[in-house]
Structure 1
């Protein structure tokens, strides 16, 4: 058996083992590429408000207390605020019974709650659950993670199988014969389209492995920095001063003064009182997505304890920060999102066209049964003649 035949067998059985999962993950991936844009379009009242004239925004503290009073059983863990975007609502991320996540939208000019929704039960919440866990919790997570690893091997073996023996066959391997018979057309739809997007799918799959396996994430740091991933934790508070009125507003103002660009500011409230409060700001003016600077403030006093700017980060940290936008296609905005969408559509089709190729070859191998009686009759006829 040649090496290419071995790769063919490997490609076949890995495809049969993971095809259904790839179908689900790729199908949901096509919806998630433009998740933010579609979600904001469908829920404009949740994300935006009319900006009144001659009206000042209420303090972040007032919005925080309004969101907290909306449901006494939830614990607010994050505050999302957009700077230099006056029409955007303030979103409060809250936990309920440790298993349910809620988003509470607050009007920044009235300080009143617009509405709340359970994050996992919204349309894209269900799609995301299918994409990550097949709606099967830990079992589903294990299956999707393994399938992601298998898909990387599928891309590599598929490229080996596509590779032409002679360069004069390259034209045939890079064009779809639309006018040919169904069997040839189906092979082209599988092999040729797969070839054109294999680089994009490989990046999407590898970045998926970073999310799936800690050892793979550590490998990124080992290759880039020569050492394991650093432990990410807010520094300890140096004092136990109580939180006073205007505290969260002061964090918002200090962060925007320190980081004056347009962007989404996130205040993360630590579970432990011994840890400082983390404030992230994503730079909307950067050339690539997810460029984020981090500030750490002392809880109670609002004193800046530490800063971690993206430009000063290690190579490993920068690559790790780019992992999400590469995976979702948002690295350079809508052009790369469009490429990711096309790749996801092709990935969705690959298990279907691949299975049809398998069925075609299986039928070809099955030969019609030979009737010994008819053979005997034929011999007798020949003998008579």
Structure 2
């Protein structure tokens, strides 16, 4: 092995020790989370409703129903998840904390209420994002470990890549008939090679979810450095009208305006900013439970006046890339095949710290065994050498 590769192996090994446990936890939780929508749809009846031939209940009515009997509680987010799915209101209650209230969008009847922290898949997501540590600390630990993992994948490819063309065919397959140590070695190297490209994409999109600097880097790179200041504008309501107008129906007006402008959208998210100058934001998503293709709207919270509309087609490449981030990260950008690829890649990533540790342990034991044999050999030779008398 060349001095360069020896150095690379040293770096690869110790970075693996540093990040291995976190990489395993993040990968296995990502693996579990990939099919969370399908699993929850199968086990929770409240995630589906009977389709009725009438329009959805207005968002103001859904908010009022979700807040009923909760003194001092607030609700800023209203979701319409699509045909055959419930509506949802995110409630902040002083006593119970965050609550997600599901309602029938055709009748306004509450079908289920839960704390996000009690949902198994939300817990898995929290572990995945920040290991259930304080968010600012856990996010940093996960982020650093993911960056290290990307370095490990690259150094691993360099260390493993076969020199001779004749060895490449053998190197790209697992020798299942070999001894278990050989199989483990192949599992680490061969599966690691096949998963590398997907794993790096998952790592980058994961970092983008947690860190502004990564989102900005993707935005800048996709736009080839070109600035789009209009996409960074934060639209505000005319706060001078605060208290002077009846605003009870403005959120309904905003929703209906967005629905009329995006008639083919399947899912809607309505955000009512509580700040005096805050606007009402409506995002219309092309497909239910998918977050890539969307039209964004901002409305004055006092008059309902449209302040801005950004259709998906109008968005810059960088904005589109950041919008598709979640769908790429969980694989659903390609539908069920994409989720399967993300699942398998995450499973392989979870296995790499384990197979890598076994390889290191085997080499360590082999090294100790060689040292013992050498010492025994020397003693034996000395015992049989003739002595001067």
| Cα distance change of structure 1 residues 373 and 323 upon mapping to structure 2, 3 Å threshold | closer
Which residue is equivalent to 1:190? Answer: 188
User: How far did 1:73 drift?
Assistant: 4.1
Q: How many residues align?
A: 378
Which residue is equivalent to 2:330? Answer: 328
Backbone CA RMSD of aligned residues: 2.6
| 1:249 matches 2:248 | no
User: How far did 1:180 drift?
Assistant: 0.5
SS in 1 for 2:309: strand
Say if 1:221 and 1:229, in contact at 8 Å, map to a contact too.
no
User: How far did 1:373 drift?
Assistant: 6.7
Pairing 1:76-91 to 2, within 5 Å after superposition = 76-83=75-82, 85=83, 87-91=84-88
User: How far did 1:331 drift?
Assistant: 1.1
2:32 & 2:177 partners in 1: Cα distance? 31
User: How far did 1:227 drift?
Assistant: 5.2
Which residue is equivalent to 2:283? Answer: 280
Can you give the 5+ residue segments of structure 1 that lack an aligned partner in the other structure?
Answer: none
Which residue is equivalent to 1:123? Answer: 120
SS in 1 for 2:111: strand
| Cα distance change of structure 1 residues 19 and 212 upon mapping to structure 2, 3 Å threshold | same
| 1:114 matches 2:111 | yes
For residues 31-73 of structure 1, the C-alpha deviation after alignment (integer angstroms, 9 at most, x for no partner) is: 111122222322222x222346x77654332222111114234
| 1:6 matches 2:7 | yes
User: How far did 1:339 drift?
Assistant: 0.4
Which residue is equivalent to 1:37? Answer: 38
Say if 2:228 and 2:316, in contact at 8 Å, map to a contact too.
no
Pairing 1:198-209 to 2, within 5 Å after superposition = 198-209=196-207
1:301 & 1:177 partners in 2: Cα distance? 70
Pairing 1:37-116 to 2, within 5 Å after superposition = 37-45=38-46, 47-51=47-51, 57-83=56-82, 85=83, 87-97=84-94, 100-116=97-113
TM-score by length of 2: 0.89
1:295 & 1:33 partners in 2: Cα distance? 30
1:331 & 1:227 partners in 2: Cα distance? 26
| Cα distance change of structure 1 residues 112 and 243 upon mapping to structure 2, 3 Å threshold | farther
2:180 & 2:228 partners in 1: Cα distance? 50
User: How far did 1:211 drift?
Assistant: 2.7
SS in 2 for 1:331: helix
1:100 & 1:245 partners in 2: Cα distance? 25
1:151 & 1:318 partners in 2: Cα distance? 26
| Cα distance change of structure 1 residues 243 and 68 upon mapping to structure 2, 3 Å threshold | farther
1:55 & 1:213 partners in 2: Cα distance? 42
Which residue is equivalent to 2:366? Answer: 364
1:268 & 1:172 partners in 2: Cα distance? 56
SS in 1 for 2:175: coil
| 1:340 matches 2:342 | yes
User: How far did 1:18 drift?
Assistant: 0.6
1:263 to 258, 263, 266: 266
SS in 1 for 2:195: helix
TM-score by length of 1: 0.90
User: How far did 1:247 drift?
Assistant: 3.2
| Cα distance change of structure 1 residues 377 and 4 upon mapping to structure 2, 3 Å threshold | closer
Mean alpha-carbon deviation: is it higher for 115-124 or for 240-249?
240-249
| Cα distance change of structure 1 residues 100 and 233 upon mapping to structure 2, 3 Å threshold | farther
For residues 1-46 of structure 1, the C-alpha deviation after alignment (integer angstroms, 9 at most, x for no partner) is: 522222211111111111111110001011111122222322222x
Pairing 1:146-185 to 2, within 5 Å after superposition = 146-185=144-183
| Cα distance change of structure 1 residues 108 and 321 upon mapping to structure 2, 3 Å threshold | closer
SS in 1 for 2:81: strand
SS in 2 for 1:77: strand
1:201 & 1:362 partners in 2: Cα distance? 28
Mean alpha-carbon deviation: is it higher for 106-115 or for 159-168?
106-115
1:208 & 1:153 partners in 2: Cα distance? 15
Say if 2:66 and 2:91, in contact at 8 Å, map to a contact too.
no
User: How far did 1:313 drift?
Assistant: 1.0
| Cα distance change of structure 1 residues 229 and 299 upon mapping to structure 2, 3 Å threshold | same
